[in-house]
C-alpha cells in the first residue's frame, strides 16, 4: 500500500494503482472520458488533469501511479479551469443535439457539463462537419460529429476483441473513427463499444429510440445466454426488458458481454406463457394447481413420476424439485437440456448454452439423455418437465407423446408446451430472485426485476407450495428460506446465504462442480 496525500487528506491505495482508481477508492471522483479500466491508457481526453506536487505542470491521473509521498490536488482553481476548458473544447464541435440523441441521460458530456462545465458559450465558429448515422455494423450506429475521439472503441477492437475494425483516420480536428472501406464492425463482442462510448457517438441499433434511459429501472442480473454467467444490468420499464448491459465482475466477464448474450434479453419479452392450460384449454391457475396436486397425490399411491430438472432453471428451483423427488419416493429425477451447443471462444462465450449446469452437478443431478430416455420408456404415468424445451429433440418428443400426462412448468409457448397436457406458466430469471452456478463453479445471484406476466409463477414458489400441500412442509416464501434448506443439504453452501453472495458471487470449492463443467476453453478473460 502507498500512503499519499489527496486534496490535503492522507489516504492510501495499492502501490502502483493509477490515480483515477486510487482517488475513487478514497471517495474522490476524477472526471475522465478516455480512461477505461479494461483498456490501455491513452491519456488523450485530458479531463483527468490534476496537480501533482513536484511535477512539471499538470498531470493526467490516468497515467499517474500512486506511490508513497505523492501529493495530489484535484480541488484547486487550476484543476477547475482545466476541466472547464476541456469540456468547452469537447463541445466546441459537438452538435449538442441532446434531444435527438439516444445517449441522453447516460452521456458523460451531459454529466460533466453539469459538474465541471457551466461556462458561458463564447464560440461562434462553424462546427466541423462529419458523417452522421453511419451504419457501421450489425449492432452499432456511428455519429462522427458526436465523437470526442477518446479511442475507447478503437482500443476495444484492437485489445479485447482483437478484431481491429475500428480505427482513427485523418488527423487533427478532422480525425474520425471509421472502419476500413467496405468493412463492418462485426465481431461477437461488438456491442461493448456502445457501452464504453462515453458519448452518443456509438449507439445500439437494437436499443436506439426505444426508450429514454431515465424511465428505465436497472436490476442486477446474470446473463442466461451461456454457462459463463456474465454479470449484467437488466434495464426494464413496465415489465418490458429493453436491454442488457455488462456489469463489471473481474472474476467472470470483466467489463464485457458477448453480442448473443446481449440480445438474449429478447427471450424474456417474447412468446411467453401467461396462462395455465389443461389439455389445450386455458384454465385458472387454481384449477391447474389443484389438478397437479391431484396427479401427484394419485401417483404417489400407484405408478411412477419422472421429474426432469433443468440447467436453465435456477439453483433454488432445481433444489426444490430434487426435494420434491426425495419426498415423493416413487419418482425418478432426471435432467437434460435439448438445446444446441453455442459457439465458444477464448474470451467469454461457452459452448454450454445453459446458465446452471454446474448447479445441477452441485445437486448431484447429472444431465443424461440416455438416462432420461430410459426413464421415459418405463412404466411412467406423469412426467414433470421444468423450464426446458425437451420436445425440440424428436426422440424425446416421441416418448413424451406416449405418456399419459406431461406436465410442463414453462416460461415459453414452445414445442414442449404444445405437447404437454398440463401447462403451468413460470417466471424467467427476470421475474424472480435466485442464483446460477456458472461454468467455473461460481454461484451468482440475480434479482427480480418485475412480476411475472399473467398467471406465471416462479418454479420455486410452485414447488414450495406442492411440498407444503403434499408433504406438510413449512411454507417457503422467499429465496433466503430456500437457502436455509439448501444450507442443510448441500455441503458447499453450508456457510452461504443468497444475499451474502454479494455482487461478485462466490467460487465454490467443489469437485462436483469442477467436474461438471462442459468441455470448454479456459476462461481467458
When asked if residue 44 is in the footprint of other proteins (CB under 8 A), the reply is yes
When asked if residue 190 is in the footprint of other proteins (CB under 8 A), the reply is no
Least distance from other proteins to the Cβ atom of residue 463, Å: 52
When asked if residue 49 is in the footprint of other proteins (CB under 8 A), the reply is yes
CB nearer to other proteins: pick between 156 and 244:
156
Closest by alpha carbon to 437, among 350, 334, 371, 379?
A: 350
Q: Please report, for residues 395, 480, 495, 497, the alpha-carbon distance to residue 501 in angstroms, rounded to integers and kept in the order given.
A: 40, 11, 10, 6
Least distance from other proteins to the Cβ atom of residue 512, Å: 44
H, E, C per residue of 342-371: CCCCCCCCCCCCCCCHHHHHHCCCCCCHHH
Cβ atoms 69, 7 nearer than 8 A:
no
Of 4, 20, 38, 93, the one binding other proteins (CB under 8 A) is 93
When asked if residue 421 is in the footprint of other proteins (CB under 8 A), the reply is no
Q: What share of the chain is helix, strand, coil (3-state, %, to 5)?
A: 30, 20, 50
Stretch that binds other proteins, among 171-179, 259-267, 276-284, 464-472 (CB under 8 A): 171-179
Of 76, 129, 131, 169, the one binding other proteins (CB under 8 A) is 169
Q: Which residue has the cell 459463463?
A: 228
Taking the C-alpha atoms of residue 462 and residue 242, their distance in angstroms, rounded to an integer, is 28
When asked if residue 167 is in the footprint of other proteins (CB under 8 A), the reply is yes
DSSP per-residue letters across 118-162: -PPP---SPPPP---SEE-SSSEEE-TTT-----HHHHIIIIIS-
When asked if residue 92 is in the footprint of other proteins (CB under 8 A), the reply is yes
Of 115, 129, 174, 402, the one binding other proteins (CB under 8 A) is 174
When asked if residue 180 is in the footprint of other proteins (CB under 8 A), the reply is yes
CB nearer to other proteins: pick between 42 and 424:
42
Stretch that binds other proteins, among 136-144, 169-177, 244-252, 269-277 (CB under 8 A): 169-177
Cβ atoms 428, 449 nearer than 8 A:
no
CB nearer to other proteins: pick between 50 and 358:
50
Of 171, 370, 509, 519, the one binding other proteins (CB under 8 A) is 171
Q: Please, which of residues 57-86 interact with other proteins by CB under 8 A?
A: 57-58, 60, 63, 81-82, 85-86
Cβ atoms 53, 30 nearer than 8 A:
no
Stretch that binds other proteins, among 3-11, 55-63, 131-139, 507-515 (CB under 8 A): 55-63
- Look at residue 498 and give its three-state secondary structure: coil
Of 46, 312, 323, 349, the one binding other proteins (CB under 8 A) is 46
Q: Please, which of residues 103-162 interact with other proteins by CB under 8 A?
A: 122-126, 128, 148-149
The size of the interface with other proteins (CB under 8 A), counted in residues, is: 47
Taking the C-alpha atoms of residue 119 and residue 32, their distance in angstroms, rounded to an integer, is 18
When asked if residue 96 is in the footprint of other proteins (CB under 8 A), the reply is no
Stretch that binds other proteins, among 44-52, 262-270, 309-317, 423-431 (CB under 8 A): 44-52
Q: Please report, for residues 66, 106, 108, 213, 486, the alpha-carbon distance to residue 103 in angstroms, rounded to integers and kept in the order given.
A: 33, 6, 9, 8, 43
Taking the C-alpha atoms of residue 126 and residue 136, their distance in angstroms, rounded to an integer, is 27
Q: Please report, for residues 223, 261, 328, the alpha-carbon distance to residue 266 in angstroms, rounded to integers and kept in the order given.
A: 12, 10, 37
Query: Contact residues for other proteins (CB under 8 A)?
Result: 41-47, 49, 57-58, 60, 63, 81-82, 85-86, 88-90, 92-93, 122-126, 128, 148-149, 164-175, 178-183
Amino acid at each position: 500500500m502507498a500512503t499519499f496525500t489527496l486534496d490535503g487528506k492522507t489516504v492510501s491505495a495499492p502501490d502502483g494503482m493509477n490515480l483515477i482508481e486510487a482517488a475513487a477508492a478514497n471517495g474522490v471522483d476524477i472526471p475522465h472520458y478516455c480512461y477505461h479500466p479494461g483498456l490501455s491508457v491513452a491519456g488523450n481526453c485530458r479531463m483527468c488533469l490534476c496537480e501533482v506536487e513536484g511535477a512539471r505542470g499538470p498531470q493526467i491521473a490516468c497515467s499517474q501511479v500512486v506511490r508513497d509521498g505523492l501529493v495530489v490536488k484535484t480541488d484547486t482553481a487550476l484543476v477547475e479551469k482545466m476541466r472547464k476548458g476541456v469540456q468547452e473544447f469537447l463541445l466546441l464541435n459537438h452538435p449538442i443535439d441532446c434531444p435527438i440523441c439516444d445517449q441522453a441521460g447516460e452521456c458523460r458530456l451531459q454529466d460533466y457539463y453539469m459538474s465541471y462545465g457551466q461556462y458561458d458559450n463564447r464560440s461562434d465558429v462553424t462546427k466541423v462537419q462529419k458523417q452522421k448515422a453511419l451504419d457501421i455494423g450489425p449492432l452499432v450506429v456511428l455519429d462522427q460529429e458526436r465523437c470526442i475521439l477518446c479511442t475507447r472503441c478503437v482500443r476495444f477492437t484492437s485489445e479485447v476483441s482483437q478484431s481491429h475494425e475500428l480505427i482513427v483516420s485523418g488527423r487533427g480536428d478532422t480525425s474520425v473513427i471509421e472502419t476500413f472501406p467496405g468493412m463492418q464492425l462485426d465481431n461477437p463482442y461488438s456491442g461493448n463499444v456502445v457501452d464504453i462510448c462515453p458519448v452518443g457517438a456509438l449507439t445500439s441499433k437494437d436499443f436506439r429510440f426505444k426508450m429514454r434511459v431515465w424511465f428505465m429501472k436497472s436490476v442486477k442480473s446474470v446473463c442466461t445466454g451461456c454457462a459463463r454467467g456474465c454479470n449484467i444490468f437488466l434495464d426494464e420499464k413496465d415489465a418490458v426488458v429493453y436491454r442488457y448491459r455488462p456489469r463489471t465482475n473481474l472474476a467472470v466477464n470483466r467489463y464485457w458481454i458477448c453480442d448473443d448474450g446481449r440480445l438474449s434479453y429478447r427471450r424474456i419479452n417474447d412468446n411467453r406463457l401467461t396462462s395455465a392450460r389443461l389439455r389445450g384449454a386455458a384454465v385458472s391457475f387454481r384449477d391447474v394447481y389443484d389438478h397437479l396436486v391431484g396427479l401427484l397425490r394419485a401417483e404417489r399411491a400407484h405408478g411412477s413420476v419422472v421429474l426432469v430438472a433443468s440447467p436453465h432453471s435456477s439453483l433454488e428451483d432445481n433444489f426444490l424439485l430434487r426435494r420434491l423427488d426425495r419426498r415423493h419416493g416413487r419418482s425418478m429425477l432426471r435432467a437434460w437440456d435439448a438445446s444446441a451447443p453455442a459457439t465458444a471462444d477464448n474470451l467469454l462465450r461457452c459452448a454450454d448454452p445453459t446458465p446452471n449446469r454446474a448447479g445441477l452437478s452441485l445437486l448431484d443431478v447429472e444431465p443424461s439423455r440416455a438416462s432420461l430416455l430410459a426413464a421415459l420408456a418405463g412404466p411412467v404415468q406423469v412426467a414433470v418437465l421444468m423450464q426446458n424445451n425437451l420436445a425440440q429433440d424428436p426422440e424425446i418428443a416421441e416418448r413424451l407423446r406416449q405418456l399419459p400426462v406431461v406436465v410442463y412448468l414453462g416460461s415459453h409457448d414452445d414445442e414442449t408446451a404444445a405437447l404437454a397436457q398440463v401447462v403451468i406458466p413460470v417466471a424467467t430469471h427476470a421475474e424472480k430472485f435466485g442464483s446460477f452456478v456458472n461454468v467455473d463453479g461460481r454461484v451468482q445471484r440475480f434479482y427480480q426485476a418485475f412480476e411475472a406476466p399473467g398467471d406465471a409463477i416462479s418454479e420455486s414458489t410452485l414447488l414450495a407450495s406442492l411440498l407444503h400441500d403434499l408433504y406438510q412442509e413449512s411454507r417457503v416464501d422467499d429465496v433466503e428460506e430456500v437457502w436455509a434448506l439448501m444450507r442443510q443439504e448441500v455441503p458447499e453452501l453450508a456457510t452461504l446465504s443468497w444475499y451474502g453472495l454479494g455482487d461478485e458471487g462466490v467460487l465454490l470449492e467443489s469437485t462436483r462442480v469442477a467436474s461438471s463443467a462442459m468441455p470448454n476453453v479456459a476462461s481467458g478473460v
